[in-house]
Amino acid sequence: MELDELRQMSADDLRVKERETRDEIFRLRLKLRTNQLDKSSALNGARRELARILTVINQKSAAPDGAVKAK
């Protein structure tokens, strides 16, 4: 998901997306440990997406009106 799309989401939607991504990371780690994961890069991609989501959540909580400034 693109960063611009994440910035347009509400805080509640971001929390839901965060939970889904954390669940996905858990499933991918389980598959990795049981040698069922074909693309190990999928785990890194999910971790990066979680980092993006958390960054936007932190930016929205730090902004006084909940708006995130685009660079």
Handedness of CA 29, 23, 15, 45 (dihedral sign): positive
- For the entire predicted model, the pTM comes to 0.84
Structure confidence by residue, pLDDT tens digits, 17-68? 999 999 999 999 999 999 999 999 999 999 999 999 999 999 998 877 656 6
In a domain, 24, yes or no: yes
The one-letter amino acid at 66:
G
In a domain, 38, yes or no: yes
In a domain, 44, yes or no: yes
Q: Quote the domain boundaries for residue 49.
A: 3-61
Q: Which of 42, 58, 43, 41 is nearest to 7 (CA)?
A: 58
In a domain, 66, yes or no: no
What single-letter DSSP state applies at residue 66? S
CA distances from 62 to 37, 41, 54, 67, 69 (A): 37, 32, 12, 9, 11
The owner of tokens 């999910």 is: 46
CATH number of residue 56's parent domain:
1.10.287
Identify the pLDDT of residue 62.
Answer: 87
In a domain, 51, yes or no: yes
The number of folded domains in the chain is 1
Identify the pLDDT of residue 63.
Answer: 76
